[in-house]
Structure 1
Amino acid sequence: MAERAERRASRPVGTVISLAGVDAHMVPEVGGKAANLGVLLAAGMPVPRGFCVTTVAYGRAAAAAGVQPSEPAEQTRGRLESAPMPGDIAEDVLAAYAGLGEDIPVAVRSSATAEDLPEASFAGQLDTYLNVVGPDSLLDAVRRCWASLWRDRAVAYRADHGIGQHPISIAVVVQEMVDAEVAGVMFTANPLTGRRRETVIDAAPGLGEALVSGAVNPDQFTVDAATGAILQRSLGDKRAEIRPVPGGGTRVLRRQDGARQDSARQDGQQACLTDEQVRSLARVGTRVEELYGEPQDVEWAIAADGGIRVVQSRPVTTLFPLPEPDNRDGGARAYLCASLLQGLTRPLTPMGLASFTLMSDSSRSAGNEPAAYRSAQIGMRMYVDVTSLLRSKGGRRGLLRAMKVADARSVDVLAYLAADPRFALTKASKLASLKAGLGASPPFGLVGQVLRAMVNPAAALERVREADHELDRMLLLPEPVSGARRLDFVERLLTKEIAPAVMRVLPPAAAGYVWLGLARLLLGRFAQAGELQTVLRGLPHNVTTEMDLELWRTATLIREDPESVRTLTGEEPQILAGRYADGTLPAACQGALRAFLARYGHRAVAEIDLGVPRWSEDPAHIINALANYLKLADPELAPDRAFRRAAENAEAKAAELAARAARSRGRLFGRIVAHSLRRARETAGMREYPKFRLIVAFAVLRHQLQLVGEELADAGRIQVSDDVFVLDLTEARVGLRGADLRGLAAERRRSYQREMRRRHIPRLLLSDGTDVEAAMAAQSRASSDAEPGALAGAPASAGTVTGKARVVLDPAGAHLEPGEILVTPSTDPGWTPLFMTAGALVMEMGGPISHGAVVAREYGIPAVVGVPDATLRIRTGDTVTVDGAAGTVVIDTSLEADGGR
């Protein structure tokens, strides 16, 4: 491969090249689209003939037009559209065009160097011109394709994906036009559920532009790629189609007989593809996927002769990554997202992932973590393999019981998966089932400590303080030491010390919740839903509450100094964070903030990730919180008063429940309930403490790794010291021995930033890529279990969002507040800038593979398409809930019922 690339580099590429001469290594000269077409042609796929106007031609044309790198995009676009094409380039283009035939109709498509890549599809961002006929029309179309590189939507898309503006270039693909009888798009993996080897095909009569632009509701077919079985079909109304016009251009044909079509659609006679054509397309899709080794988004057309043509293929960029293969038993496996259980949707840095893997492995070997759990890293998130638990009666029961406490939403998803025959209960002895059930429960050693804490809470709290002192001693590393010794220190703590230290502070909180459970059992029907939760308000020993109250006290100190108040409320938090680092904040503010960070500076947002800066490093978040506290005018809303009221209400509720029990079951019974609730309040507040101590340890480890990063950066092994956090411990050791890790770190950082843009994370993921929650919602929709009154459409991008609707009929000048639901008849690429702030998308037209749906998935916003009369039935300002997996939109009618609309 290297030799081939070297030969290509020594063979200069001109302004025009035949697609038959293009290969995968020529993206810098021909762009992503043309490179993919060259690969397809070389593999013998049915790709229309054509040629590519290379980036060399674009560069020369841009220079001749006077394009300057620093000028605004709009000015660049204007120059490229109006400037004549250099004569020799025009001659080359027209000579290649003549080689296809005399005035033959062609399709002219943009092919940017950052287009159709695994990390960004660029779907619909650049221009395409269909049925171009004649030399003058062709040259004009090429110029317009060049100019489309600088359209607002394309510039915004690149900025949102972290792609540089001026290093990018563009080529243009010119292909023989396919006068399609039927055209469409297929995904070789289900874009909604993520299931691999399940092909989804959208089809409509005429040219494919009607479908990808969202102007038509297409037929959709879901095919099992392995067997060719058509699993599901949904027929659209297909009331519009685009056809070529003799002499050039296209026109839209509309069908008016909707009633006749609706009737025909119901009896299944109006599909635009036969079953054999569907299966043939799926086979073509499988060949394309096997060629590239990953799922593909394929545009296709069926010509008048019945032959299939592939006109474009690009990677599917929105699928969640697959787990690493696990062939322990050869069957399907299920992975529960541990990151989401921690409330974390963002990815973890490679160093953060490595730390949890080390802790998990060491806990399992030490018997502190159930053997039934096996951690996995998928999509830079932490997952847990729960397959063995689901296949065991005791394990399944224990897992569901644990999820009721940890994440109620996971219970329904796990219960749904339990009906999947691949996860049916295995026949096992009662002893094996009991072991599996215990595998989902805490280890016996911890149970004994919890019982001791129940009997004597004060002694348990004293043992926590002793464990704290022991951990503090472990976290000391005498200086000076080498980078290798620092890594030894970090690894030893992660593998041997931290997990046991955290386990030692768990019993008091667990004891408190056992007492609460006992009280719930004793009270039974005498306690109404939510009353016991009231008892847990205003708890003592809650480090998170104590931190919040300390932050409020910090704000009250700052409030006494007018200069500090003006500074904190008048400047951006990030600027103020820089001033704090420089020591230039007003003295009162500087001192109060320093005191708070001395106590809580080890904390952070997403703090379980070692790679995330702590508040002591970047206090912008805390400064913003202080500024908000300073704006609080009503003293009754002050956090300290709110906490005091919560504690008083909790004590009153506990007394009320005990009295209720005494009246109903006798004084002794009431005393037992009162004792249980009192003991629950004494220690349940410790629930946050184990994580607090874990984060204290992580802050120390992070500091040691920062020093290692500085050593690597000083030696030129990584670019900047923070690059150490996109490595793991083994790689950092290799760097200390002399390896150049700059390339690896740069690639890891790109991967991390790509995952940072992902907004929908599967709660439960199968080994075939299936997002179980999305599949469950899709099945609910197919079985008509949607909520009564919901508007039904086609699911296009998974996720659920509730927000205010904004009906937009024209994107020009449209205003969309962040988080608002965009409701529109259809979209084309000109709408893309609105997607950046939209909370969700609802379209009257289009299918799950139309442009709007593809871009919605890229931006991670829920989307439902093909919703009849959505812009009439939904009004701006309505509160709507969009379920992109179920394909439903629910309008909140409570305001209407109350006369509020």
Structure 2
Amino acid sequence: MGAAPRQGPCVRSRDAALPPLGRRSRHGDRKCPPGHAHRGRTAVRDHPIPSATHRGPRTMTHGTVFADTASESSDPTLVGHKFARQAQLRAAGYNVPEFVCVPVDAFDRAMETARPDIPEAPVGGSPDELAEWAEKAAAAVLRVGVPESLTNALLSRFDHLAGDAGVVAVRSCAVPLTSDTEQDGEDSAADPFAGLGRSFLSVGRAELPDALAACWASAFTPEGVLYRARRGADPTATRMAVGVQRLVPATASFVAFSRDPRGGRNAEESLIAAAYGLGEGVAQEQADVDHFTVHVATGAVVPQLVRKERQVVAGPTGGTVLADVPGELADRPVLDDRTARAVADLALALERHFDMPQDIEGAVTEDGEIHLVQARPAVVAAAPRDRRELHWSNGNISESYAGHTSMLTFSVASELYAVGFEEFYRSMGVPERTLRARRYELRRMLGYVDGRVYMRLESWYRLHSGMRAFIGLKHKWEKAVVTVDSSVTVPAPSGPRRMAVRAREIPAAGVRRLLNPRRMRAFFAWWDDRRDGLPDPETRSPGQLVQDYRELWADVALYWGRTLVANTHVIAELDLAERLMRRWAPDANRGVLNGMLCDGPVNRSVLALRSLLTLADTVGGHAEALAAVFGDDRTHEEHDDTDVWRRLAGGAFGDDLAAMATAHVKRYGDRGLHDLKLETTVVSQRPQMLLPQLRPVITSGRSTQDSAREERRARREAESELRTHCAGPLRLALLRLLFWSLRRNLFIRENARFCRTELFGASRRMIRSLGRHLVDAGRLDSVDDVNDLTVEEILGAYEGGAATVGLRELAAVRAKARAASLRRADPPNIFATDADLPLDVALESSGSTRGTPGSTLTGLASSGGVVRGRARVVTEPDVDPESCRDRILIARETDPGWMFLMLVAKGLVAERGTVLSHMAITGRIFGVPTVVAVHGVVDRVPDGALIEVDGDRGTITVLDETTAEDAS
């Protein structure tokens, strides 16, 4: 772009000698911005540049060349649209480098001489045949060369154009056959394709004739011939004009679009791609390129920068070469904001001039002056249709279904959400008629997004809006569940109607709050009986297993909805507590709220933990059992664990210890890492997995008394802080009452979640037993194949409600898709897709950057305290807990199965979650500084980095190794 020729996919001269024409393996265009469509597609028409009416080639002498000021230089039938536009823009006062044109007549005369040596064109031939013909035609033109009279005419202009640099740019442009043909030529509105002819930068006097001949011969580049054939034009019917132009000594070059060619929401922005050096770096993707968007209305500049290491510069003996970018420029924007705005203004001025969006090329010299080298109609995206969006969030659902999740788990989870929420809405007073009308939404509350489970927010909002209480709860629910305010709107009743809705809802909500604890006690009693009454799947036939599964889930549909009511109470009460604390105790420590949630009723998850702590304490006090659990070599191989468990459960270390261990497995064995994912193996399936859980607990020295004492301490400190900063006994009493209710509802909610773990554990055992029967029947290769089937497909194999053949093949297809999705990054936590496109097509991705010393990330303060230490970044929890000891655990999300890692960590950080998530609750139980909802923390904090976690302020700071105090 220095003289800024349009490079397109053309071969460039990098040396004094010009390369011969031949096939090229690459058909790339200029460096395009992310998402930009190739410009070789349909463009819109502009107003034609004024030109003389002319049909067919004109007869001229070989010595004729046109200065850019000549009237002929504005005639596209003589010089092509590229040079005609430049001539018109120079005449209009734009800063276009001076040039002269060799009109197409000279090419026609050369062709008359070369034609006897050009074989007959294989019109309609294969791509290989056309390419072979193109090479022979180009070679014939090169043999003809440039007449002496034309060479002399060009050389007489050379010194003036070359100036002190002694070099020029030589560029070609295809010319239409006639003025009324459909084939309007390169850079026309009908055909603004990238120049398929050759162009050369930094051409010296001696190389000028060869450069001109090479431009003529490029009428027959293989890619140009194939391009014309693809567009339905005569692949052989091309004529070439050539321009010789002053070479701009560019320090930077650019391509700019007056309107972002991606269209849609980007239509109000100009887009610029810029690189240091000559324009060939941008056009041929040789240099490192910065991108800039400039808002048309406001002039706001948004850069997208890369580190620049390569640029294209003029070679010492002609042509162009790659060179290093000076170190001081590598991280600096190629264009400052002022220059970027000036380039955008230039593109917009040309848009107004031609009355359509423009694609321009230019160069910036050392003094900051902008030179316009080329303007063409921009190839723009089709006019966007009105986009209907679907919004997706994994919010706190990622606690249950983190990362990649099997098709089996998704199908069972979808069923639970459908039947559970139907009963929940009924409990919340949603009319039966409304439920019937929206029942289909229940089946799409969850979406399977590239193997990950997401909430389809439109369905959630439509269903939730049926509850009278939801208008007031929307923002609170979004904060607790979605984790951000959503752009999804919910119709709100008018003022008088809203008051009437509230008048009915307030007493109904009061009744629900009063009755819910008693209803949940009845539910827990029912579930305990139902769970204990389930037969052992290993003793059941396939038909009986199918019946057992159906009957269990029929009961779930009747009763499970009430477990969801307590969560609405938690969300509302937590929001009220936060607002009252800000109003009545604004100076209180931020950790007061978290402390007031401690020392509540002991829920089933805490009982499971205390059972493990008690078992660990007992093993630790038994020398022989302790030696067996750890082993002499401390390697803990799986076969050793199996043998140790057999001895432990068999009474080798005493009947009391055996009874305690087997009782723990029976009662709490379904709780584990990712225990709601049916593809996960839990302790109830393989009891020997209990031993790796015991070891870090034993070495940590924690006891049930320690955890209870820590909770009581946190609660006492919070109570004291509250008394100090909350003025008035009535306010203090109201806050205490509110926190008491919140602790009670958290107790109910956590117990319900534990019951859900047991439900999935029972379902897992039944489904895997059916899988073994299907393997025995020759329908599956492995029991694990059930993970790639839906539960209805598995049951349908016996019931006839789904395909009963091809299960093996179906599982294999899904396994292949699963393997591919595992290699892809997780989608963002919340994003939108086009509702009118298949989800896999519409899915968008997000990137992240690494944290650097001194950078601070902010999340949600969840458990108070400040701690410094080494980061332990864990994306999957199946790591040795000892690797997390005295480290700060960083994860995308956690579930109760991460407890064994959290027990030995000195700080906890999660990318997702809320103050009510498992990590937040665990941090409060053990008094460990905890921050959740830290966007991108897994990708931005390197494993092993020295960091500081402030659980009161909700910050994570990456510390400088040389100045930070080591926390080891």
Change (3 A) 1:461 1:308: closer
Match of 2:218 in 1: none
Q: CA–CA distance in 2 between the matches of 1:608 and 1:540?
A: 24
8 Å contact 2:598–2:714 — kept in the other structure? Answer: yes
Whether 2:531 is the aligned partner of 1:472: answer: yes
Whether 2:583 is the aligned partner of 1:497: answer: no
Change (3 A) 1:433 1:219: same
AA at the equivalent of 1:597: V
Q: Secondary structure at 1:241's aligned position in 2?
A: strand
Q: CA–CA distance in 2 between the matches of 1:579 and 1:201?
A: 67
Q: Deviations over 1:55-85 (max 9, x none)?
A: xxxxxxxxxxxxxxxxxxxxxxxxxxxxxxx
Q: Give the number of equivalent residue pairs.
A: 608
Q: CA–CA distance in 2 between the matches of 1:648 and 1:860?
A: 31
Q: Secondary structure at 1:603's aligned position in 2?
A: coil
Match of 2:668 in 1: 600
Q: CA–CA distance in 2 between the matches of 1:306 and 1:787?
A: 42
Q: CA–CA distance in 2 between the matches of 1:260 and 1:402?
A: 42
From 793, 805, 821, give the equivalent of 1:739.
Answer: 805
Q: Secondary structure at 1:335's aligned position in 2?
A: strand
Q: Secondary structure at 1:360's aligned position in 2?
A: helix
From 240, 265, 268, give the equivalent of 2:341.
Answer: 268
Change (3 A) 1:460 1:697: same
Q: How do 1:119-138 and structure 2 match up within 5 A? A: none
Whether 2:833 is the aligned partner of 1:767: answer: yes
Q: CA–CA distance in 1 between the matches of 2:328 and 2:807?
A: 65
8 Å contact 1:568–1:623 — kept in the other structure? Answer: no
Q: How do 1:262-301 and structure 2 match up within 5 A? A: 266=339, 268-269=341-342
8 Å contact 2:726–2:732 — kept in the other structure? Answer: yes
From 769, 775, 791, give the equivalent of 1:713.
Answer: 775
Tell me how far 1:715 sits from its aligned partner: 2.8
Tell me how far 1:732 sits from its aligned partner: 2.1
AA at the equivalent of 2:515: R
Change (3 A) 1:532 1:211: farther
Tell me how far 1:549 sits from its aligned partner: 1.8
AA at the equivalent of 2:600: L
Q: Secondary structure at 2:834's aligned position in 1?
A: coil
Q: Which runs of 5+ in 1 are unaligned?
A: 1-17, 23-39, 46-93, 105-130, 132-173, 286-303, 311-326, 779-785, 793-801, 806-816, 822-838, 841-858, 865-873, 882-888
AA at the equivalent of 2:341: G
From 544, 561, 568, give the equivalent of 2:605.
Answer: 544
From 785, 809, 815, give the equivalent of 1:749.
Answer: 815
Q: Deviations over 1:710-751 (max 9, x none)?
A: 122223322211111211123224545641223321232233
Whether 2:280 is the aligned partner of 1:218: answer: no
Whether 2:722 is the aligned partner of 1:649: answer: no
Q: Which runs of 5+ in 2 are unaligned?
A: 1-22, 28-37, 44-130, 143-199, 201-221, 228-251, 360-372, 380-384, 836-841, 858-867, 872-883, 891-909, 912-935, 950-955
Whether 2:473 is the aligned partner of 1:398: answer: yes
AA at the equivalent of 1:628: P
Change (3 A) 1:757 1:544: farther
Q: Secondary structure at 1:750's aligned position in 2?
A: helix
Q: How do 1:35-184 and structure 2 match up within 5 A? A: none
8 Å contact 1:542–1:689 — kept in the other structure? Answer: yes
Change (3 A) 1:640 1:203: same
Q: CA–CA distance in 1 between the matches of 2:503 and 2:562?
A: 20
Match of 1:168 in 2: none
Whether 2:697 is the aligned partner of 1:629: answer: yes
Q: Deviations over 1:272-310 (max 9, x none)?
A: 995799999x9999xxxxxxxxxxxxxxxxxx9999999
Match of 1:871 in 2: none
Q: CA–CA distance in 2 between the matches of 1:503 and 1:395?
A: 17
Match of 1:450 in 2: 513
Tell me how far 1:218 sits from its aligned partner: 1.5
AA at the equivalent of 2:322: R
8 Å contact 1:483–1:708 — kept in the other structure? Answer: yes
Change (3 A) 1:306 1:359: same
Tell me how far 1:547 sits from its aligned partner: 1.4
Q: CA–CA distance in 2 between the matches of 1:897 and 1:453?
A: 51
Q: Secondary structure at 2:781's aligned position in 1?
A: coil
Bigger CA drift: 707-716 or 498-507?
498-507
Tell me how far 1:383 sits from its aligned partner: 0.8
Q: Secondary structure at 1:767's aligned position in 2?
A: strand
8 Å contact 1:538–1:643 — kept in the other structure? Answer: no
AA at the equivalent of 1:493: L
8 Å contact 1:538–1:644 — kept in the other structure? Answer: yes
AA at the equivalent of 1:732: I
Q: State TM-score, norm by structure 1.
A: 0.50
Q: Deviations over 1:152-208 (max 9, x none)?
A: xxxxxxxxxxxxxxxxxxxxxx999x9x99799999989xx9999999885547699
Match of 1:697 in 2: 759
Match of 1:384 in 2: 456
Q: Secondary structure at 1:765's aligned position in 2?
A: strand
What is the aligned-residue identity percentage?
15
Bigger CA drift: 465-474 or 690-699?
465-474
Q: CA–CA distance in 2 between the matches of 1:520 and 1:860?
A: 25
Q: CA–CA distance in 2 between the matches of 1:463 and 1:566?
A: 43
From 748, 759, 762, give the equivalent of 1:686.
Answer: 748
Q: CA–CA distance in 2 between the matches of 1:222 and 1:268?
A: 7
Q: Secondary structure at 1:383's aligned position in 2?
A: strand
Change (3 A) 1:468 1:731: closer
Change (3 A) 1:402 1:577: farther
8 Å contact 2:269–2:293 — kept in the other structure? Answer: no
Q: CA–CA distance in 2 between the matches of 1:196 and 1:705?
A: 52
Q: CA-atom RMSD, angstroms?
A: 6.9
Q: CA–CA distance in 2 between the matches of 1:564 and 1:877?
A: 36
Q: How do 1:560-579 and structure 2 match up within 5 A? A: 560=622, 561=624, 562-567=626-631, 570-572=634-636, 576=640, 579=643
AA at the equivalent of 1:764: I
Q: Deviations over 1:783-829 (max 9, x none)?
A: xxx9999799xxxxxxxxx9989xxxxxxxxxxx99999xxxxxxxx
Q: How do 1:225-374 and structure 2 match up within 5 A? A: 234=303, 240-242=310-312, 251-252=322-323, 254=325, 266=339, 268-269=341-342, 331-337=388-394, 340=397, 342=399, 344-366=401-423, 367-368=426-427, 374=442
Change (3 A) 1:427 1:265: same
Q: State TM-score, norm by structure 2.
A: 0.47
Change (3 A) 1:672 1:401: closer
Match of 1:126 in 2: none
8 Å contact 2:312–2:320 — kept in the other structure? Answer: no
Q: Secondary structure at 2:706's aligned position in 1?
A: helix
AA at the equivalent of 2:604: V
Match of 1:640 in 2: 704
8 Å contact 1:189–1:197 — kept in the other structure? Answer: no
Q: CA–CA distance in 1 between the matches of 2:808 and 2:260?
A: 36
Change (3 A) 1:741 1:656: same
Whether 2:617 is the aligned partner of 1:556: answer: yes
Match of 1:534 in 2: 595
Tell me how far 1:537 sits from its aligned partner: 1.9
Q: Deviations over 1:40-59 (max 9, x none)?
A: 999999xxxxxxxxxxxxxx
AA at the equivalent of 2:756: L
8 Å contact 1:339–1:381 — kept in the other structure? Answer: no
Tell me how far 1:334 sits from its aligned partner: 2.8
Change (3 A) 1:707 1:546: same
Tell me how far 1:551 sits from its aligned partner: 1.4
Change (3 A) 1:253 1:718: same
Tell me how far 1:690 sits from its aligned partner: 0.4
Q: Secondary structure at 2:831's aligned position in 1?
A: strand
Q: CA–CA distance in 2 between the matches of 1:478 and 1:260?
A: 66
Q: CA–CA distance in 1 between the matches of 2:751 and 2:345?
A: 62
8 Å contact 1:576–1:620 — kept in the other structure? Answer: no
Return the index of the structure with the highest Cα Rg: 2
